[in-house]
Amino acid sequence: MSGAVAGPARIAAWTAGLTGLKRAAMGILLGAISVLAFAPFHLWPILFVSLGGLVWLLDGSYRSGETRTARVLAAALTGFWFGFGFFLTGLYWIAEAFLVEPWRHGWLIPFVMTAFPAGMALFFAGGCAFAMVLWREGPARIFALGLGLGLSELARGYVLTGLPWNLIGYGLLADPSLMQLAAVFGVYAVTVFAVLVFASPAAIWSGGGTPSRGSAALATLLLALVAASYIWGAMRLADATDTPTNFRVRLVQANIDQAEKWRPENATRIFETYLEMTERPGLEDIDVVVWPETALPFALDKSPDALAAIGDMLPDGTALLVGSARWTERRNDKGILLARHAYNSLMAVDDEGQVVAVYDKIHLVPFGEYLPYQDFLESLGVMQMTGVRGGFSVGTGPRLMAVPGAPPALPLICYEIIFPNEVRAEASPPGGAERPGWMLNVTNDAWFGSSAGPYQHFYQARVRAVELGLPLVRVANTGVSAVVDPHGRVLAKIDLDTRAIRDVGVPTLGLITPYAVWGLWAEFLALGIALLGWLVCRICTGPPRLTG
């Protein structure tokens, strides 16, 4: 065995042979370094190391188990440790929100930073356990891992309202040319492909014996497909034309500190800050001004003086889109209050200071905007991060929003934009109904400071634009605010922790994408190809035991 071959084989054997705490530590480390593939780093080749190492750890689980049950349990534990490292480093920034009001929530940080990544890690545990049921020598085990993690990442987008944050496929889409794959397949299907690509080179070695020729051939084929995808994506970008429109927006990023925002004595100053920034020169050429999620620390629709000031400020034909909390009451015939509901809303205000359209957020953040078993937990003194008594209520739609002086908008508040299939369902209405002319994402990422969270959120929003062929206008309280074209190219941006405005022409609507038409079928196709690959390998490889 040559030195070039013996080196990887020895590393594979050493990794597969780890046991106990060393094995757990290696799993956590591999999961943790995977996060470098995502925003703001985009060091996506690191996934060759992390997912390749996971293959070798699972090889060890397979060889060390005397029974199928033992192997599956060992694989689940390996996946759990990998997932724990992945979510601990990938979602560390959630702790920042608990430091906004540390006297209320700071004590929860140790529990959140252990229980939350541990809970999320169960998805990787399930994916690896599923893969181990199908584990076979040679290239078959790569298809098994693609199936297992592909299914677990899909489940992560739906179970318990879902959190498809930093899906593995986003790593492969980091490059602008490769990002174009999202227009054809969507990020869930790309996730299956990404697992196959990044895991396949390490799978050439199983920890002993000679390298697998079948695995080497598979790795070569997959890398060739990546190269072909890159060339196609680069050509798609080169052929894309920037067709100007007459629709211009002003992004207003006021950079209000979250700890200062909800103090009553700051309400007037914050409102005046937004007015002053909005009134800067050039407003007469703007069709729509956009302020971020919950921009104002009061209910705008219950504040006639504020609405009048907005009407006085806006030129004729200019509208304002502003995030604001909204309260409604239901009373009986005697005027007795029966119910009171709070909504996280987006309001359109015209040049006369009238609220002419409202969208209430539909997909709320658990523990951020509402609590499961709200009444019971509130009786114990537990409150969601927003501190709204009773929590926010779920909006009822419709989602498509008519904005004066603008094409129909698809409004998405905060993390609503990270749910691919929910957004696709609204962006591709059935029966030939009108598509929205643009996506509008307003958010308040100030909760998460200068961490990686706001960058990750912005990047996932860019991928939605590519998936659906829709231009994106995004305004965040502290950043990142931007206008993105239907190919994911950033046309204008306001960086994190910056107070600024940008006047930008919104690009034209792109062609409807294959993913927008196929949706879940693209994901089923990717899983079906992985299953077919496993079946072919299973037929060709004979006895289901790894060598070495």
| The predicted structure's pLDDT at residue 547 | 46
Considering the chain, what is the average pLDDT of its residues? 91
pLDDT tens per residue, range 178-207:
999 999 999 999 999 999 999 999 999 875
- DSSP, res 408: -
Question: Computed over its alpha carbons, how large is the radius of gyration of the chain?
Answer: 25
| Whether residues 227 and 340 fall in one domain | no
Is residue 335 over pLDDT 90? no
Beta-carbon contacts of residue 317 (< 8 Å; ≥ 6 apart): 287, 351, 404, 405
| Whether residues 191 and 254 fall in one domain | no
> Residue for token digits 């907005």?
310
| Whether residues 429 and 299 fall in one domain | yes
3-state secondary structure of 475: strand
Q: Provide the domain limits for residue 457.
A: 248-362+397-507
Is residue 538 over pLDDT 80? yes
User: pLDDT higher for 1 or 441?
Assistant: 441
| Whether residues 15 and 145 fall in one domain | yes
| Whether residues 110 and 224 fall in one domain | yes
In a domain? residue 222: yes
Catalytic residue annotation: 293, 361, 414
Domain harbouring 269, CATH code: 3.60.110.10
| The predicted structure's pLDDT at residue 27 | 98
| The predicted structure's pLDDT at residue 510 | 92
| Whether residues 334 and 411 fall in one domain | yes
Q: pTM for the full model?
A: 0.94
| Whether residues 15 and 114 fall in one domain | yes
| Whether residues 534 and 484 fall in one domain | no
| Whether residues 212 and 68 fall in one domain | yes
State phi, psi for 167 to the nearest 5 degrees: -55, 145
| The predicted structure's pLDDT at residue 502 | 98
| Whether residues 253 and 200 fall in one domain | no
In a domain? residue 170: yes
Quote the number of domains for the chain. Answer: 2
Measured CA to CA, the distance from residue 26 to residue 50 in angstroms comes to 10
pLDDT tier at 254, thresholds 50, 70, 90 = very high
Is residue 137 over pLDDT 90? no
| Whether residues 256 and 178 fall in one domain | no
Mean local confidence (pLDDT), 109-123: 94
Measured CA to CA, the distance from residue 513 to residue 428 in angstroms comes to 10
| Whether residues 127 and 213 fall in one domain | yes
| The predicted structure's pLDDT at residue 414 | 95
Mean local confidence (pLDDT), 329-353: 86
Dihedral sign, CA of 40, 41, 43, 47? negative
Mean local confidence (pLDDT), 314-318: 96
pLDDT tens per residue, range 473-519:
999 999 999 999 999 999 999 999 999 999 999 999 999 999 999 99
| The predicted structure's pLDDT at residue 380 | 58
Mean local confidence (pLDDT), 293-321: 96
H/E stretch holding 504 reads strand 500-505
